[in-house]
Chain A
Amino acid sequence: MKLKLKTVFVLYFMVSLMGLIYALMQLGQHCDCAEHDLPKDRAISRLQEELYRLQGQIRQLEKAKQPEKKQPPKSSLSTIFVITPTYARLVQKAELTRLSQTFLHVPQLHWILVEDSPRKTPLVSNFLMKSGLTYTHLNVPTAKERKLQEGDPSWLKPRGVEQRNEGLRWLREDRKTEPGDNGQQGVVYFADDDNTYSLQLFEEMRRTQRVSVWPVGLVGGMKFESPVVEGGKVVRFHTGWRPSRPFPMDMAGFAVSLQLVLANPDACFDGEAPMGFLESSLLKGLVTADELEPKADNCTKVLVWHTRTEKPKMKREEALQVQGLGSDPAVEV
């Protein structure tokens, strides 16, 4: 009896030992079990998402805290206030997404996004929260008679006028609560949501004293429009369309210093101005042509492009919707 039990034990021991050795060998090998990797990767992408979300939250918290704390300026950079009018259409989220990806590279940038809408839409609100940028979300609807209708060409009525004016109004209100010299330092830029901006542009505009100007690509029916600089001053404008305008420039071609905006509380865009005179309607109350500061290497480099995005073709979507089989409207595009 005893002998048998002993051999059983020894056998058992040997088997266990071999099993242990096998397991130890397996330890060094690459594990490609899907059940192990998948949660890890999911965890990683979930964490990344959390990260972006937290970034946005933290920026908001910091912004809220700022009026109470008496902090030394975080950097010597002046803030760039970017006013962007936007309106709901299919490509809105895409445009805002890629615009925010550019802005995320620019330090001390405050994005003032003004919706053409009677109420703040959840799409834009959620988007801004996740963006990670310092922002202000405003909205003001355009009066019906000023709005472009379905078949109108884009140049028929000026767009974004009320929204930009609302941005200016908010800025002036907000700066009143910000005492001290630092609160008055800054640059105001009007950025449409479909244009393309290079990062260098924002650095060029930061040192604006009054109004700075630069070339804009793909506008005015030409490869680029630009002020002509001689002796460090703007002497005329190189444009193919109505060069007799006081300031024949595009909205994306100039920036105004915050001090100038605050010093002229009545200066705003005039929606009644004839086509192409929108920019002039603001600038003529602020500067004269010889006071303009040329940037972008004496206006020889193109750092911003007036790109326009095609309207996506929705023929099939419309056909489906007639049948009641349209794509799920709950999925945000």
Chain B
Amino acid sequence: MPKRRDVVAIVLIALPWMLLISVWHQSNITSVLTAQKEVYIHVLNIYQNSDTIGGRSDSRALKESSSLQSRDIVHVVRTEYIYSRPPPWSQSLPTLHIITPTYSRPVQKAELTRLANTLLHVSNLHWIVVEDSQRRTTLVSHFLQEKGLNYTHLNILTPMTYKSRGDGRNPRVPRGTLQRNLALRWLRETFPLNYSQPGVVYFADDDNTYSLQLFEEMRSTKKVSVWPVAFVGGLRYESPKINALGKVYGWKTVFDPHRPFGIDMAGFAVNLGLILSKPQAYFKLRGVKGGYQESSLLRELVTLSELEPKASNCTKVLVWHTRTEKPVLVNEGKKGFTDSNVEI
């Protein structure tokens, strides 16, 4: 029957296309839905009862209902929460590897304390603390153990020759260079080249101030992301120049704006995969002009046009390059007035 054949033919043609279109749509929708759901679950985990937080006999966390709505996703009602432990690890968020070089001085424990208090709020964080010392000090070891953060404790001593003031033969190596390079090497030795878990590497000095939003902004780094930093270069803030296409084309700075990367250490983050894929990229030790340290690493990793601007197209300040005053210790005298067994 010609009619039946025609019908069969039409069905045979239409069916695969319909299947194709429906499957294609569904794949898009489900991936977006899972992302939203994961954020919702992540939010839920933050407020979970402190079953996961051990050892605190006082206040219990009470967490109430959250509902997922179409537009404003989170609708959280909660009465009290307490956490002095990091948020539970989330399967979907990229890990932030925060590299902090540190060295012994009177304010060291104070600086690390307030930095740790900040980092305790950030999910999926891995803190790499690198001491400038011959051996890992007990101060830092105990401190890291007590804080409960996910950490790695390394150390490398900067030789005295590197520390001396610049002259022809021994130009001064910027502080923290050897320590940051050691951390990069540790990352490359620990994670294989084709490591599938996404990660972001950030260099956080122990005296700066970081807002929590900064860490969320850097999580989505594909190669290298950049943002403004306050109190550097003798300005209120330095920032990358963004053109109408949302790409970086220059640096809004007074101090040598023609540097390849006129940005402070706290102003950029690198994707872990990029670090692993370029194993020869390190901070240059010698012969680096003041202000060119960051460029010495970044020029091996990205070009200017590949930079990703964050912080609302580099219009918000989320990190401040604060410096702590050296405390006046005149009353200690020669022999030390205070009990040296008390750790500060």
Q: Which residues of A contact B (CB under 8 A)?
A: 6, 9, 12-13, 16-17, 19-20, 23-24, 27, 31, 34, 36-45, 47-52, 54-55, 58, 62, 74-77, 90-91, 93-95, 97-98, 101-102, 104-105, 107-108, 196-199, 215, 217-224, 226, 238, 240-241, 300-302, 305-310, 312-317, 319-320, 326-327, 331-333
Instruction: For A49, list chain B residues within 8 Å (CB).
Output: 213, 216
CB pair A51–B328 under 8 Å, yes or no, is: no
B337 nearest CB across to chain A (Å): 5
A167 to B116, CA, bound (A): 29
Residue with the highest number of chain B CB atoms closer than 10 Å, among A93, A241, A307, A314: A307
CB pair B120–A310 under 8 Å, yes or no, is: no
A330 nearest CB across to chain B (Å): 9
Q: What are 12 residue pairs bridging A and B, where the CB atoms are less than 8 Å apart in the complex?
A: A44-B216, A54-B76, A74-B79, A94-B209, A101-B118, A105-B83, A199-B117, A221-B332, A302-B109, A305-B107, A312-B322, A327-B236
Which residues of B (71-87) have their CB < 8 Å from a CB of A? 72-80, 82-84
Instruction: For B32, list chain A residues within 8 Å (CB).
Output: 39-40
A39 nearest CB across to chain B (Å): 8
Instruction: For B117, list chain A residues within 8 Å (CB).
Output: 98, 101-102, 105, 199
Q: Given the known A-B contacts A107-B80, A221-B330, A310-B325, are A317 and B234 also in contact in the complex, defined by CB atoms under 8 Å?
A: yes
A23 to B266, CA, bound (A): 43
CB pair B329–A50 under 8 Å, yes or no, is: no
Q: Quick one: closest A residue to B2, CB to CB?
A: A2
A99 nearest CB across to chain B (Å): 8
Residue from A223, A316, A332 within 8 A of B317 (CB atoms): A332
Instruction: For B219, list chain A residues within 8 Å (CB).
Output: 41, 44-45
Residue from B36, B236, B327, B343 within 8 A of A218 (CB atoms): B327
Q: Which residues of B contact A (CB under 8 A)?
A: 9, 12-13, 16-17, 19-20, 23-24, 27-28, 31-32, 35-36, 39, 43, 58-60, 62, 72-80, 82-84, 106-107, 109-111, 113-114, 117-118, 120-121, 209-213, 216-217, 219-220, 222, 228, 230-231, 233-237, 252, 254-255, 315-317, 320-325, 327-332, 336-338, 342-344
B188 nearest CB across to chain A (Å): 23
CB pair A20–B59 under 8 Å, yes or no, is: no
A301 to B143, CA, bound (A): 13
Residue from A16, A45, A62, A91 within 8 A of B231 (CB atoms): A91
Q: A50-B72, A310-B324 are in contact. List 8 more A-B contacts (CB 8 A).
A: A23-B23, A39-B32, A48-B213, A77-B59, A107-B59, A217-B106, A217-B344, A218-B327
Instruction: For B23, list chain A residues within 8 Å (CB).
Output: 20, 23-24, 27
CB pair A331–B317 under 8 Å, yes or no, is: yes
Q: Quick one: closest B residue to A41, CB to CB?
A: B220
Residue from B35, B222, B254, B331 within 8 A of A241 (CB atoms): B331
Q: Given the known A-B contacts A77-B58, A222-B331, are A199 and B16 also in contact in the complex, defined by CB atoms under 8 Å?
A: no
A326 to B234, CA, bound (A): 11
Q: Given the known A-B contacts A51-B74, A101-B212, A105-B83, are A94 and B230 also in contact in the complex, defined by CB atoms under 8 Å?
A: yes
A129 nearest CB across to chain B (Å): 14
Instruction: For A241, list chain B residues within 8 Å (CB).
Output: 331
CB pair B118–A98 under 8 Å, yes or no, is: yes
Instruction: For B72, list chain A residues within 8 Å (CB).
Output: 50
Instruction: For B109, list chain A residues within 8 Å (CB).
Output: 217, 302, 305
Q: Quick one: closest A residue to B78, CB to CB?
A: A58
B40 nearest CB across to chain A (Å): 9
A71 nearest CB across to chain B (Å): 9
Instruction: For A76, list chain B residues within 8 Å (CB).
Output: 58-59
Instruction: For B322, list chain A residues within 8 Å (CB).
Output: 91, 94-95, 309-310, 312
Instruction: For A102, list chain B residues within 8 Å (CB).
Output: 114, 117-118
